[in-house]
């Protein structure tokens, strides 16, 4: 089959031919020729570009090709990572790395290849003996004093995907300047012949139970009311790992804390990269939570939670007074976590005035309100959990980190892990359910209590997608228009503050005062109104899409008014969308 004669991109032809001519296995070459003969368009998609190593690592569809996740693209990315780490720690006598993976198809294979390349480059590699949650990989990087770490996962993406998260020596995903510098090194690796694949087998150390115990012991220390857990050990919990890594540690952690009535969704307890019981293993989606909610209804449970495949994110469902189950969004779960933790730190007189909490700029302002009223500093960071980890590193030794979170279902309690942690979050959510029970309340009642005390905060999200190059240009023009001609009012409310994360300026439109925003630059705008509402406009950096995050606020006088106020706030968000012509 002559690839040169195919009607596909020239770059796809060149990349595919390079693999046919290069040091790639025969099965790969046969797959290329088969695509050329039977599915040229698939060949084009697989080879028209190199899979991008972004600021968070790799993520893509699995298969043969330069634009696919496979053993060769994983090996080349790892070589680039190894080259950069070696350049940054040139004086070290021994370089160390930790490697783990989730339950996805080929994840173990990719993890072993990653470990082999790092070992061949002289690293001492701590490779987990099987799948483990992402937060434990972050923990292991710091526990073993590693210089880097890799977690093979595509998080909550569909089954066709896999990915690769790279970590720095602080246990946090790569941030500036390392993120872009690693990308530069990866781009220098043009072929598998540039990769050291063999020769360091003796440098690979298998780890497992010994670090599990240390990590779980540290999570256990988060418990704020161990005696209360003992009293309400039989609080009725439903948990599903959605065929992912959560099954390895979350039930074990709950048992270690003393919870005795943990009901696992057995059909989703078996690790399986095909995720056979759900169209998407994403705990944000109702379909992914449906089996857990069904079980909760059967046994009249007190709380439901689910972790995604790499067990860094958590979805929660709670029982309403009418007996129906309601899925909480990430802002709501985060607010309850903050509320409980702050309340306990206050009651136990643990606050010294030097503590802080962190949220992202697109997250609800409710967690910030909770922290501020308690005299706890609250820091905003850019979207992405790595920026929460970066803030902890910046303040280490000066201020005490309590907790952090983001609207996309990620939470961190304590600083021993530097990424979102479903093991720690599920443990604290279970404790809150026991605490609510002690007061004759439900988890839903706790959320209502928060809304009554701080105001009813409600959030919404709209993604506007345009097509192709012209779409990307249109979105850039939209951002330019918002900057040159910002709205004076939105839905009849006066805009009183504009935050521009590109110019790093916050402008008070009442006083005219301009203050500096102490964050990395990002193409994001925020508009705050005199009624306390917030609109965030954030274009995607990788596709022609722009996201609008809406945050509105009302007053809740009683539990019985919940639905009425909730509906009114939903209507308010719809009205704002209309006023912004969305």
Four-residue CA torsion sign, 543, 158, 41, 195: positive
- Report CA dihedral (162, 167, 171, 176) to the nearest 10 degrees: -130
500-534 as b/e, with b when 16 or more CB fall inside 10 Å?
Answer: bbeeeebbebeeeeeeebebeebbbbbbbbeebbb
Separation of alpha carbons 503 and 23, rounded Å: 48
**Is 427 a known active-site residue?**
no
217-256 as b/e, with b when 16 or more CB fall inside 10 Å?
Answer: eebeebbbbeebbeebeebbbbbbbbbbbbbbbbbebbeb
Q: What is each CA distance from 290 to 158, 268, 544, in whole angstroms?
A: 17, 11, 32
Separation of alpha carbons 168 and 89, rounded Å: 12
Query: Helices 330-347 and 443-454: crossing angle, nearest 10°?
Result: 80
Nearest residue to 187 (alpha-carbon basis) of 64, 54, 97: 54
Q: What is each CA distance from 394 to 133, 178, 291, 389, in whole angstroms?
A: 25, 15, 42, 9
Catalytic residue, candidates 155, 169, 408, 427: 155
Nearest residue to 133 (alpha-carbon basis) of 287, 271, 276: 271
Separation of alpha carbons 85 and 35, rounded Å: 37
Separation of alpha carbons 51 and 69, rounded Å: 8
Polymer length in residues for the chain = 582
Are residues 110 and 396 in contact, defined by beta-carbon separation less than 8 angstroms? Answer: no
Q: What is residue 101's three-state secondary structure?
A: strand
Phi (first) and psi of residue 284, to 5 degrees: -75, -20
H and E: helices and strands count for the chain: 18, 23
**Which residues are the active-site residues?**
155
């Amino acid at each position: 089959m002559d690839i040169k004669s195919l009607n596909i991109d020239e770059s796809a032809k060149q990349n595919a031919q390079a693999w046919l001519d290069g040091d790639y296995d025969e099965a790969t070459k046969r797959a290329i020729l088969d695509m050329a003969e039977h599915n040229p368009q698939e060949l084009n998609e697989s080879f028209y570009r190199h899979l991008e190593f972004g600021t968070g690592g790799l993520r893509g569809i699995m298969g043969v090709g330069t634009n696919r996740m496979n053993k060769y693209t994983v090996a080349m990315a790892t070589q680039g990572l190894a080259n950069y780490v070696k350049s940054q720690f040139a004086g070290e006598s021994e370089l160390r790395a930790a490697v783990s993976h989730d339950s996805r198809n080929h994840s173990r294979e990719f993890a072993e290849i990653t470990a082999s390349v790092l070992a061949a480059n002289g690293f001492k590699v701590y490779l987990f003996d099987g799948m483990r949650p992402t937060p434990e990989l972050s923990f292991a990087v710091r526990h073993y004093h590693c210089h880097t770490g890799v977690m093979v996962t595509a998080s909550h993406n569909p089954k066709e995907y896999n990915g690769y998260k790279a970590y720095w020596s602080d246990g946090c995903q790569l941030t500036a300047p390392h993120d872009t510098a690693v990308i530069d090194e990866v781009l220098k690796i043009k072929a598998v012949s540039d990769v050291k694949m063999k020769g360091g087998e003796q440098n690979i150390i298998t780890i497992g139970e010994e670090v599990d115990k240390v990590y779980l012991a540290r999570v256990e220390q988060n418990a704020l009311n161990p005696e209360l857990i003992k009293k309400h050990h039989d609080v009725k919990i439903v948990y599903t790992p959605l065929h992912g890594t959560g099954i390895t540690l979350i039930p074990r952690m709950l048992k270690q804390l003393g919870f005795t009535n943990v009901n696992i969704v057995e059909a989703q307890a078996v690790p399986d990269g095909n995720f056979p019981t759900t169209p998407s293993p994403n705990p944000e989606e109702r379909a992914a939570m449906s089996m857990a909610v069904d079980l909760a209804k059967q046994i009249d449970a007190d709380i439901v939670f689910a972790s995604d495949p790499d067990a860094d994110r958590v979805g929660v469902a709670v029982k309403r007074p009418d007996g129906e189950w309601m899925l909480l969004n990430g802002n709501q779960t985060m607010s309850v976590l903050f509320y409980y933790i702050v309340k306990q730190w206050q009651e136990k007189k643990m606050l010294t005035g030097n503590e802080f909490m962190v949220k992202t700029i697109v997250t609800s302002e409710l967690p910030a309100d909770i922290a501020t009223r308690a005299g706890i500093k609250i820091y905003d960071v850019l979207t992405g959990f790595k920026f929460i980890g970066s803030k902890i590193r910046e303040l280490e030794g000066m201020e005490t980190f309590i907790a952090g979170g983001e609207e996309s279902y990620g939470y961190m309690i304590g600083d021993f892990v530097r990424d979102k942690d479903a093991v720690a979050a599920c443990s604290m959510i279970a404790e809150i359910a026991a605490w609510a029970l002690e007061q004759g309340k439900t988890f839903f009642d706790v959320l209502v209590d928060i809304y009554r005390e701080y105001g009813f905060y409600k959030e919404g999200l709209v993604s506007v997608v345009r097509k192709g190059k012209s779409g990307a240009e249109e979105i850039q023009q939209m951002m330019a228009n918002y900057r040159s001609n910002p709205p004076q009012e939105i839905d009849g409310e006066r805009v009183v503050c504009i935050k521009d994360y590109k110019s790093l300026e916050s402008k008070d439109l009442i006083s005219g005062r301009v203050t500096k925003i102490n964050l990395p630059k990002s193409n994001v705008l925020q508009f705050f109104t005199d009624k306390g509402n917030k609109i965030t406009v954030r274009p995607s950096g990788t596709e022609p899409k722009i996201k609008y995050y809406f945050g509105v606020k009302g007053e809740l006088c009683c539990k019985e008014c919940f639905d009425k106020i909730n509906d009114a706030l939903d209507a308010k968000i719809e009205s704002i969308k209309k006023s912004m012509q969305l």
